[in-house]
Amino acid sequence: MARPKAFDQDTVLVKAMHVFWARGYAGTSLDDLVAAMGINRQSIYNTFGDKHSLFMRCLKMYWQYELDRVYEGIKGDKAEDRLRSMMHEISHLATSSGEMGCMLLNSLGELAPQDQAVVDFYLKIDHESIQSMSNRISAGQENGEFESHFNPSAAAKFLIALSIGIRTLGKVMPGNQDFSEIADFAIDVLKKR
């Protein structure tokens, strides 16, 4: 066999991810990556292909982290509680991510629509989110927690659009604490009265 790699792929990927997250795609040079990842230029190309491939792997890794945190924040049994804790977790991410914001939204802002891979990646996530949220919303409607006069899918899109707005605001207003207030506002709206 041959000489084994002297580094752990995930370890250096995390480092690359943070650089892309903080500085964007074009704003991150290969010199930056070499410095941050601590491995040689050629090793990057051998292992991850070109800059764009590396970026996509970082973006996907980022999203997995983000998704894990949102899901692990979900508490309770009622549809309302689960949706509320989900929106709270997103608000918390908006506050705690600070100036770096959401890497996925940053990437859309910078690279969409030219970069089809990024757009497609978002569209897949968007579809899954609508699916998952509207399921939860119709469950809440069926057991009488939520008003039943609105379309679950429309309500899901509403919550997603709001989440995107919250994440975006978190980036330009780091440390802002208003977001959970907005989240509560949006969930209260769905409730039956």
Partner DNA sequence: ACTGTTTTTGAGCAGTTGATCCATTACTTT
Partner DNA sequence: AAAGTAATGGATCAACTGCTCAAAAACAGT
State in angstroms the smallest separation of the CB of 93 from DNA: 28
Tracing tokens 């609105």 back to the chain, one arrives at 150
Quote the crossing angle between the two packed helices 51-72 and 116-142, to the nearest 10°.
Answer: 10
- Our CA angle for 127, 116, 87, nearest 5°, is 35
List the interface residues with its own copies, window 174-193 (CB under 8 A): 174, 178, 181-182, 185-186, 189, 193
Stated length of the chain: 193
Nearer to DNA, 94 or 118 (CB): 118
**Residue 112 lies near its own copies (rule: CB under 8 A):** yes
Binding mask 115-134 for its own copies (x = CB under 8 A): ----x--xx--x--------
Tokens of 166: 């919250």
Residue 133: burial class (beta carbons within 10 Å; 0-12, 13-18, 19+)? buried
Q: Which of 85, 95, 106, 134 binds its own copies (CB under 8 A)?
A: 106
State in angstroms the smallest separation of the CB of 25 from its own copies: 9
- Which region holds residue 128: left if phi is over 0, alpha if psi is between -120 and 50, else beta? alpha
**Residue 150 lies near its own copies (rule: CB under 8 A):** yes
- Nearest alpha-carbon partner for 145 in 96, 102, 187: 187
**Residue 9 lies near DNA (rule: CB under 7 A):** no
**Residue 166 lies near its own copies (rule: CB under 8 A):** yes
154 binds, among DNA, its own copies, none (CB under 5 to 8 A by kind): its own copies
DSSP letters of 43-62? HHHHHH-SHHHHHHHHHHHH
Note the residues at the interface with its own copies (CB under 8 A): 23-24, 26-27, 99-101, 105-110, 112-114, 119, 122-123, 126, 150-151, 154-155, 157-158, 160-166, 168-169, 171-174, 178, 181-182, 185-186, 189, 193
Q: Which residues bind DNA (CB under 7 A)?
A: 1-7, 26, 28-32, 39-43, 45-47, 50-52
